[in-house]
């Protein structure tokens, strides 16, 4: 085999693998499979995958659940302690919207503070089309929330989580009264 052809073949495999990742989220309520959009939100997906590979999400909870809006996870432990994260990732909502990524039912997006570039580990799953969360302008109020994946299997688990009873826990609101725990996250082959 020609060495240039072999190198190009290996590079194509590596490129394809980077952009066709799936993650299985095992919760105490069931399993959710997520397809990641590495070709449309590369920095966000790389950031998320590094947290997955570091086993950061195991033992974290869905700490904010608002039925009819979204479920949020990825940063707090069962006792509502915030986990230490790496530096924030640049908000890719602007390039994502150009690539057709919108906060629609079943999509994953990065949670953040009022600072557009403050997302680190926390993410949310949209329970409906949340157009007002999409990028509309390069202003603090218009940046939006970067979509980086979509639930491809397990939306019934997402809906089950969305329907749990919630209340307050310290300064946090909309917290499930019974912990919804992420037991593990695993990168799985695309079929």
CATH of the domain at 54: 2.40.100.10
Q: What confidence tens digit (pLDDT) does each residue in 115-139 have? A: 999 999 999 999 999 999 999 999 9
Q: What confidence tens digit (pLDDT) does each residue in 73-129 have? A: 999 999 999 999 999 999 999 999 999 999 999 999 999 999 999 999 999 999 999
| Residue 77 lies inside a defined structural domain of this protein | yes
| Residue 59 lies inside a defined structural domain of this protein | yes
Give me the domain span that covers residue 144: 21-188
| Residue 98 lies inside a defined structural domain of this protein | yes
Identify the residue with better confidence: 86 or 2.
86
| Residue 16 lies inside a defined structural domain of this protein | no
Indicate left, alpha or beta for 187 from its phi (over 0: left) and psi (-120 to 50: alpha).
Answer: beta
Q: What is the pTM of this model?
A: 0.90
Per-residue pLDDT, 15:
41
Q: What confidence tens digit (pLDDT) does each residue in 167-178 have? A: 999 999 999 999
| Contact between 34 and 123 (Cβ < 8 Å) | no
What is the rounded CA–CA span in Å between residue 96 and residue 38?
10
Q: What confidence tens digit (pLDDT) does each residue in 27-64 have? A: 999 999 999 999 999 999 999 999 999 999 999 999 99
Helix (H/G/I), strand (E/B), else coil: 5: helix
| Residue 6 lies inside a defined structural domain of this protein | no
| Residue 7 lies inside a defined structural domain of this protein | no
| Residue 159 lies inside a defined structural domain of this protein | yes
Per-residue pLDDT, 138:
93
Per the listing, tokens 């105490």 go with: 28
Q: How many domains does the chain have?
A: 1
Share of the chain above pLDDT 70, in %: 89
| Residue 79 lies inside a defined structural domain of this protein | yes
């Amino acid at each position: 085999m020609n060495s240039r052809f072999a190198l190009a073949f290996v590079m194509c495999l590596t490129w394809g693998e980077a952009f066709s990742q799936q993650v299985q989220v095992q919760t105490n309520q069931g399993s959710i499979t997520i397809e990641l959009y590495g070709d449309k939100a590369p920095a966000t997906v790389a950031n998320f995958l590094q947290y997955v590979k570091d086993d950061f999400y195991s033992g974290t909870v869905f700490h904010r659940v608002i039925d009819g809006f979204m479920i949020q996870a990825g940063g707090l432990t069962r006792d509502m302690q915030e986990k230490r994260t790496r530096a924030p990732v640049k908000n890719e909502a602007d390039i994502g919207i150009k690539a057709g990524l919108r906060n629609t039912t079943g999509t994953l997006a990065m949670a953040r503070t009022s600072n557009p570039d403050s997302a680190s580990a926390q993410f949310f799953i949209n329970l409906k089309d949340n157009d007002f969360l999409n990028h509309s302008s390069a202003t603090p109020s218009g940046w939006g929330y970067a979509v980086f994946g979509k639930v491809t299997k397990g939306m019934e688990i997402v809906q089950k989580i969305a329907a749990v009873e919630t209340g307050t826990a310290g300064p946090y609101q909309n917290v499930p009264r019974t912990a919804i725990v992420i037991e593990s996250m695993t990168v799985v082959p695309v079929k």
